[in-house]
Amino acid sequence: MHRFAMRWSMKFLLAVSMVTVSGTAGAEECEPGGSLFAPGEISLEGRSEYRLALSADGKTAYYHVDSETPPYQAIYVTQLQNGHFGPGQVVSFSGTYRDSDPFISPDGQSLFYSSTRPVNGGAEREDTDLWVVHRVRGGGWGEPEHLGPFVNTPKQELYPSVTRDGTVYFASGTFDTDFDMYRVRRQGNHYTAPENLGPGVNSADSWEYNPWVSPDGRVMVFASLNRPGGYGLGDLYVSFNVAGTWTQAVNLGPSVNTEKDEFHPLVSRDLGQLYFVRQTWDPYTDSDFYRLDTRCLWR
């Protein structure tokens, strides 16, 4: 393994294993359940935001917004300037169909997402497929590309996460049944057949979805719904890739998980911050982004 990749994985492994390496975060930084991220800038009242994606330097944020007016579900982008994020704008390739779940590739040159847009023309799809756009000259995004029939099925394919070697992790299922997580490997211009991630992360009676996978493919944080022993409706879990097999998932604990619904995790490139979505359903509240110093996982 590349030396940087080994340090990257081991550092996070130590964090979630509650091993103190450089001291714990102060009490003021470890508010139970984390703190609201970018309130009034990205996390706004009166709407729901989902699936945050940040550039490597943390200065560009992508996320999707659900709205009762057009565009009903679109991907937005905003820039950090003078310590604050400006008003979000719909990205060039979004705004017509229901687009969601943005994820930036480790090299920053591709953005993967979910969409109901038509494949090869025709009508908008009833199910959601995985798509990608690539950087073009001038820094914009090219035309959306469908990930193809090996990846996409008549079920819902959602929540892509991509490693440095091009492996795509995602969830597939239906909202009437459940979701499991899979991966497909990049081979030239195509992907291999989906591989179920196995019993370490997937279970028969719970939903497993929203994977965030480290660039080296060795650490995964994901959400699981109604998993036994959890703190609320949806909780965040971590699993490690050991010789190609994902270990038994471990709940990230009460520092982040509450009686509410936590999902859509993202870990910053420097491993310092865990971002996620929190929502309640009874009574219903709009979802917002939250942030937690990863050192708080040791407390």
Q: What tokens does 275 get?
A: 């971002």
Eight-class DSSP state of 295 = G
Identify the pLDDT of residue 10. Answer: 52
**Long-range contacts made by residues 16-21, C-beta under 8 angstroms, separation at least 24?**
16/238, 16/250, 16/252, 16/297, 18/297, 18/298, 19/298, 20/298
**149 vs 284: CA distance, rounded Å:** 36
Residue 2 has pLDDT above 50, yes or no: no
Categorize the per-residue pLDDT at 22 as very low, low, confident or very high, splitting at 50, 70 and 90. very low
- Tell me 72's DSSP state: S
pLDDT band of 30, cuts 50, 70, 90:
confident
Q: Buried b / exposed e across 152-187, counting CB within 10 Å, b at 16+?
A: beebbbbbbbbbeeebbbbbbbeeeebbbbbbbeee
Q: Give residue 189's pLDDT.
A: 84
CA 276 to CA 236: how far, in whole Å?
9
Largest CA distance in the chain: 57
Q: What is the pLDDT of residue 21?
A: 37
pLDDT at position 8, please? 46
pLDDT on residue 28: 53
Domain 49-268 listed as CATH 3.40.50.620? no
Instruction: Please list, residue by residue across 24-59, b when 16 or more beta carbons sit within 10 angstroms of its beta carbon and e when fewer do.
Output: bbeeeebeebbeebbeeebbbeeebbbbbbbeeeee
The amino acid at residue 69 is: T
In angstroms and rounded to an integer, the radius of gyration of the C-alpha atoms of the chain is 18
Average pLDDT of the chain is: 90
Q: In this predicted model, what pLDDT tens digit does every residue of 178-200 receive, in sequence order?
A: 899 999 999 888 899 999 999 99
Residue 226 has pLDDT above 90, yes or no: no
Instruction: Tell me the mean pLDDT in the region 87-92.
Output: 96
The mean pLDDT of 268-278, rounded to a whole number, is 94
Mean pLDDT calculated for residue range 187-215: 93
* Structure confidence at residue 224 (pLDDT): 97
Q: Look up residue 70 and give its amino acid.
A: P
- Tokens of residue 230, six digits: 């959890």
pLDDT tens per residue, range 227-266: 999 999 999 999 999 999 999 999 999 999 999 999 999 9
- State residue 1's pLDDT score: 40
Domain regions of the chain by residue span:
49-268
What dihedral do alpha carbons 24, 25, 30, 33 form, nearest 10°? -70
The token pair that represents 222 in the structure block:
């994901």
- Percent of the chain topping pLDDT 90: 76
pLDDT in tens, 39-82: 999 999 999 999 999 999 999 999 999 998 889 999 999 999 99
Parallel, antiparallel or unpaired: strands 273-279 and 207-213: unpaired
Residues 6+ apart with CB under 8 A from 138: none
In which band, very low, low, confident or very high, does the pLDDT at 160 lie, cut at 50, 70 and 90? very high
Q: What is the mean pLDDT of residues 278-296?
A: 93
Q: Taking Cα atoms as reference points, which of 298, 287, 294, 297 lies closest to residue 64?
A: 287
Of the chain, the end-to-end C-alpha distance in Å amounts to 30
| 3-state SS class at 294 | helix
Helix, strand, coil shares, percent, the chain, to 5: 5, 40, 50
- Answer for the pair 159, 51: CB distance below 8 angstroms, yes or no: yes
Would you say residue 145 has pLDDT above 70? Answer: yes
Q: At residue 31, does pLDDT exceed 90?
A: no
The predicted model gives 1-11 an average pLDDT of: 46
Nearest alpha carbon to residue 56 among 272, 277, 293, 288:
272
Residue 4 predicted with pLDDT over 60: no
**What confidence category does residue 25 fall into, taking pLDDT thresholds of 50, 70 and 90?**
low
pLDDT band at 14 (very low <50, low <70, confident <90, very high): low
